[in-house]
Amino acid sequence: MCVWGRGCPHLPGVGAAFSTHINQNGCISSPNYRWEDIPAAAILSAELGHPVEVATGVTAMAAIELLSRPLGESDVAISGSTLYFYAREVVAHAWMFHGAVHRPHQGRDPRPFRHIAISGEFLNISLDLPGHIHPLSNTGVLHAARARGVEAVDFGHLVHQAAQLPLAREIFDARARLLVELIRLAVDVVGPDSLVFAGEAFTLDPQELQLIIAMLREHQGGPGDFRIQRAGRNILRNAARQVALYRLWQDPLATLSSSPKGHGRP
């Protein structure tokens, strides 16, 4: 990134999306990264010579979901509150309120979420996983399946086996129950109007998604609208682009006026 940043024309901003939480000052404290209060935004800005906006990947992907809604649309996705829940190698969530993505102040994973993730049938499995792997991630599920004797090459292969092998299906169902606990915890706090599912945990295994939605519908006071974000392979790169455009989106005139003469013009 440092090489790319040097000698480039002036840019209104550069964006970076991280797979861990970031506080409002652009600092990262993450046991997965083995970082404690690292000023990621300041370091990247200094090295690249450009102002850098940083955000969690799930927050940036939630922004993509928000911006993909047609202009002028006035349904609850825009006027109300939405829980964006992502599960792939990272299991995380973001909030959207009245057309804006909430950026958390603290930048740490809530403790109750961590406790739920390592409970139930995934308790012993989590003890054997490297610290950077979430127990309920696709890799965590694959590890759990192999530990119980299911021979799967990768996550996609495991999903295929689950259609014929009851043991593989049981593992997916166990994860579904824990994901529902995580979602219910978030739903009970805010009570969103809608819920967006994102990530291969949902898109590659429709049966698990159906089970999750069925369990959520049994929960009184849950969201009335469920959607799924079917993003492509470039979702994380596009998420970083959204982060780069944050300053321009927030204050376009000030951002463009700060550009040197001849740059930043439409």
Is the pTM higher than 0.85? The answer reads no
Q: Are 130 and 47 in contact (CB under 8 A)?
A: no
Q: Which DSSP symbol is given to 19? A: S
The CA-atom distances, in angstroms, between 240 and each of 19, 109, 215, 219, 252 are 11, 21, 33, 35, 18
Residue 87 is predicted with a pLDDT of 92
Q: What digits encode the pLDDT tens for the residues 18-65?
A: 888 888 888 888 877 788 899 999 999 898 887 888 888 888 888 888
Looking at this protein, which amino acid is placed at residue 166?
P
Q: Are 229 and 198 in contact (CB under 8 A)?
A: yes
* N residues, the chain: 266
Residue 265 is predicted with a pLDDT of 41
Question: What span, in angstroms and rounded, lies between the C-alpha atoms of 202 and 181?
Answer: 16
- pLDDT above 50 for 5: no
Residue 6: φ, ψ to 5°? -80, 135
Higher local confidence (pLDDT), 243 or 232: 243
Chain Cα centroid distance, residue 165: 30
Higher local confidence (pLDDT), 172 or 26: 172
- pLDDT above 50 for 184: yes
- pLDDT above 50 for 121: yes
> Residues 146-153: what's their mean pLDDT?
91
> Residues 215-242: what's their mean pLDDT?
80
Q: Is residue 1 part of a domain?
A: no
Other Cβ atoms closer than 10 A to 155: 20
Q: Return the percentage of the chain with pLDDT > 90, whole number.
A: 26
Q: Helix axis angle, 166-190 relative to 155-162, nearest 10°? A: 110
In what side-by-side order are the strands of the sheet with 100-101?
100-101, 91-97, 81-87, 194-198, 225-229
Highest mean pLDDT among 20-29, 36-45, 104-113, 250-259: 36-45
Q: Is residue 6 part of a domain?
A: no
Helix (H/G/I), strand (E/B), else coil: 55: strand
Q: What digits encode the pLDDT tens for the residues 203-213?
A: 999 999 999 99
> Residues 114-122: what's their mean pLDDT?
76
161-192: string of b/e by CB count within 10 Å (b at 16+)?
Answer: bbeebeebbebbbbbbebbbbbbbebbeeeeb
Residue 76 is predicted with a pLDDT of 47
Q: Is residue 263 part of a domain?
A: no
Higher local confidence (pLDDT), 1 or 105: 105
Q: Is residue 37 part of a domain?
A: yes
Domain hosting residue 221, numbered range: 14-258
The CATH number that applies at residue 190 is 3.30.420.40
Residue 25: φ, ψ to 5°? -95, 5
Of 120-129, 155-164, 218-227, where does mean pLDDT reach its minimum? 120-129
> Residues 109-120: what's their mean pLDDT?
75
pLDDT bracket for residue 106 (50, 70, 90): low
The token pair at 219 is: 């929960």
Q: Is residue 33 part of a domain?
A: yes
Task: Give how many domains the chain has, as a whole number.
Answer: 1
Residue 58 is predicted with a pLDDT of 86
What is the residue-averaged pLDDT of the chain? Answer: 80
